[in-house]
Structures are given as structure tokens and as C-alpha cells.
Homo-oligomer: A and B are copies of this chain.
Amino acid sequence: MKTVSVGIVGGTGYTGVELLRLLAAHPQAQVTMITSRSEEGVAVADMYPNLRGVYDLRFSVPDIDQLKTCDVVFFATPHGVAMSMAKDLIESGTKVIDLAADFRLENLTAWQHWYKHEATQGELMASAVYGLPEYYREQIKKAMIIGNPGCYPTSILLGILPLLKAGLVKTDSIIADGKSGVSGAGRGASVANLGAEMSESFKAYGVAGHRHHPEMQEKLSQLAGEEVGLTFVPHLVPMVRGMESTIYATLTEDKSQAQLQALFETAYQNEPFVDVMPAGSLPETRMVKGSNMCRMAVYRPAGSNQVVVTSVIDNLVKGASGQAIQNMNILFDLPETLGLNQVALLP
């Protein structure tokens, strides 16, 4: 039984600790190094005491030669870091899974606009595969670089694509109302994300546009085969983990609730991490807390030609680290669910 040796670059944030939590339960992966310039020498279990007794690792300064000894390197870094190191790694045979946005967009102009960074590695970016297994599995199998999707895109693409691919909805006016727990904002000190600021309050944010918007627009257009118009408003929920997206689209032909239900069930019947809930039920974020599942429901409000999809994920699992491991499993020809069978923590 082979073991995949794993390096993590930039593991001090929430996606880093979540990678560690999940990989601890993976029978065929071994984290051999984890890097952080600022925390060099600190034991990961000192920074994240939930890992006490689980890992004996310390953060080290990133060293490209050492990273090359890994089978795969996860980047849980700010945007721009993976781009600067990926070429060396893949040339020596080490696969790269970037949890940031360096390899999500094919449109370099859009990337530079949104990430305020020069896209120095256009060729690499073109060779990368978007790591949404439900729609890019075959390409992932052959890839060296994976651009792991953003959390909003994961929940929204999975929710709307069955309708778009079936050609059942207007493509110019899709609306996605997204809601995220505050862990999505990361572990950086900030006033806006203080508990005293965000608890017991709810708000929309990102009025000037959100980086996940071009990502969704690009992938939706690509998969639908035509330009898709999407209005996306993200909101902050006073909770730690979880993301819900409510997606509204206009039907172009009359379909019953039952027909829509069947469409979704068929679309995802073989997907281990997408759960189409029974007609009449609605997903709650707690139904996926800590797990790699995306649960969704589709329904048709009475007296309109709208269709509504609600979709939930744990933003740190299926929306980040869990999906990254799912991609790793595909890259290394392991069972796709290996190490990812955690049951959501409810209540």
C-alpha cells in the first residue's frame, strides 16, 4: 500500500490546520513537512492544540529542495506564492494543489485585475486544472497542478450546473445569494472580524465585487458553452463554519418539481460528496459541519417560473481542504473518498 508524502506550504491559517485534521485520518497520506516563515520552529500542536498528541511536526522555513521530495505539495498561502514555486516542483515530479487562487482562472487579465498581482506564469496557469471533481474529474487525473476552487464557487457551481447543463434556465440572469461563516475570512487579525463586531449581526458585503465572481463566471460559461450572466452577493453569517447559497434562475421551459428533482438526482447519482436531499426538505449548514459533503435541494416556488436551489457546504472542507484532499486522491489514483468519510458534527 503506497503512502503519499505530503508537504504543506503556509500552514498557519485555517485551511492549513484543516488539512492537518483531515490528513490525520487518511490511511495513505503522510504529512512530512509544513512550512511557515513566521512560525519557524513552533510545533504545530502548540499553535493548534486540537492537534496535540496527533502531530509531532514543527513549522519550517519553506525550502524548495525539501519540498521536491514530497509527492504532492498543498499551498495554503496568500495569492501569488504557489505561482512562484509551482514550476520547480512539477518539473521534479511533485504535484501541486493550490488552495489559493493562483490557478483558478484561465483569464489572466481578470486574474491580474482581481488579485493585484502580475500573472507571471501564464503557461503554468493554462496547464492547471480547476479542481472541482464533479465536473473536471478526467482532467484532474492527468494534471500536475490543481487550482482548488473557492468556497462560494464550490457551493454555487454544484448547485446551478445541473440546470445550466440541461439548458433549462436563462443564462443571462442567474442570481446567487451566498452566506458564509466567518472562518472564510481567515485567521488574520482584523477589526471587522472580531467576535464583538460580527456576532449577533448579519450583513451583505463585497459591494464593490468579490474575487469569486469572475471565477464563477468563467467556469459557468465554460461548462454551459455560452456566456453566463451572474449576480452574486455574499453575506457574513454570525457563525464559524458553514456556507449556504440560495440560487435563483428562470426556467425557459415548464418543469415540475418532480422533474427537477429527478434531474438533480440523476446528475449526482454517482457523486460521493454531493447529496441531493428529498423533495420538500432543505439543507442546513450543520448537516455538513466538518464533512466533505455538499447537500442541496431544488424547488419550484408556486406561481412563478423561477427555480430555486439551496446548497450547503463546510467552507473549510468541501470549500477548501477536504476538496483539496479529494483532488489528491484523484491525482494519485486512490479511492476518491479515502480519508474523507467524517460524519458531520450535529448538533
Contacts and interface: CB of A to CB of B under 8 A. Distances in A.
Interface in A71-88: none
Nearest to A239: B200
A33 to B, nearest CB: 19
Interface in A178-212: 179, 181-183, 185, 187-191, 193-205, 207-209
Contacts of A312: 202-203
Interface string A25-40: 1000000000000000
A263 interface: no
Contacts of A24: 341, 343
Interface string A147-160: 00000000000000
B197 A304 contact: no
A128 to B, nearest CB: 25
A139 interface: no
B209 A233 contact: no
A253 B112 CA distance: 32
A54 B341 CA distance: 9
Interface in A279-294: 280-291, 293
A200 B201 contact: no
Contacts of A290: 290, 345
Interface string A42-74: 000000111111100000000000000000000
Given A204-B310, A246-B177, A199 B49 contact: no
Contacts of A332: none
A183 to B, nearest CB: 4
B182 A343 contact: no
A190 B188 CA distance: 8
Contact of A246 (B25, B191, B235, B244): B235
A200 B240 contact: yes
Contacts of A277: 49, 52
11 contacts: A49-B287, A173-B304, A175-B306, A182-B196, A189-B191, A195-B198, A200-B241, A201-B285, A203-B312, A207-B282, A233-B310
Given A17-B347, A21-B346, 11 more contacts: A20-B343, A48-B346, A49-B277, A179-B202, A182-B196, A182-B199, A201-B242, A201-B284, A201-B286, A203-B244, A205-B282
